[in-house]
Amino acid sequence: MADHKSQSFRDVTAWQKAHAFTLAVYRATELFPKHELYGLVSQLRRAAASIPANFVEGFRKRTPADKLRYYNIAQASADECLYHLILAHDLNYANTADLQAELDELSRLLQGYITGLTRKTMPSTRYSLPATS
């Protein structure tokens, strides 16, 4: 999952899934009550669009720390979306089970990206021996 293999963020599965999820959220929220336009609709759309946007920002950053910062923000936005989808479902605005499943897959992809980058940049200490005196 290393960035150097992809020339563009558009080549990365995580971004593709995030973009598709955002489009699906926009379509689903068109059916929400009009009184939620500046409430839940706005919040959910903003959080959804934040996932691919932050992934793109991280993709172009040069240092692993900068990349991780933006990938973590994307992951946090995914968690925010999950809550908003649960809320929309509980308010009977929509059946959000499919969107939640898409988001679960997307979150796993993002976490894999974060974990892979973390492993590449931070030496493992799992097998180091304790210091002796």
Left, alpha or beta for 95 (phi > 0: left; psi -120 to 50: alpha)? beta
Domains and CATH numbers, the chain: 10-120 (1.20.1440.60)
pLDDT digits (tens, 9 = 90+) for 67-113: 999 999 999 999 999 999 999 999 999 999 999 999 999 999 999 99
Mean per-residue pLDDT over the chain, rounded: 91
Report how far residue 91's alpha carbon sits from residue 78's, in angstroms, rounded to the nearest whole number.
20
Q: Indicate if the pLDDT at residue 19 is higher than 60.
A: yes
Helix (H) and strand (E) counts for the chain?
A: 4, 0
Report how far residue 51's alpha carbon sits from residue 48's, in angstroms, rounded to the nearest whole number.
6
Q: What number of other Cβ atoms are within 10 A of residue 47's Cβ?
A: 21
Q: Report residue 26 as tokens.
A: 């926009």
Residues written for the chain: 133
pLDDT digits (tens, 9 = 90+) for 75-88: 999 999 999 999 99
Report how far residue 133's alpha carbon sits from residue 51's, in angstroms, rounded to the nearest whole number.
49
Confidence of residue 3 (pLDDT cuts 50, 70, 90): very low
Whether 48 contacts 4, CB under 8 Å: no
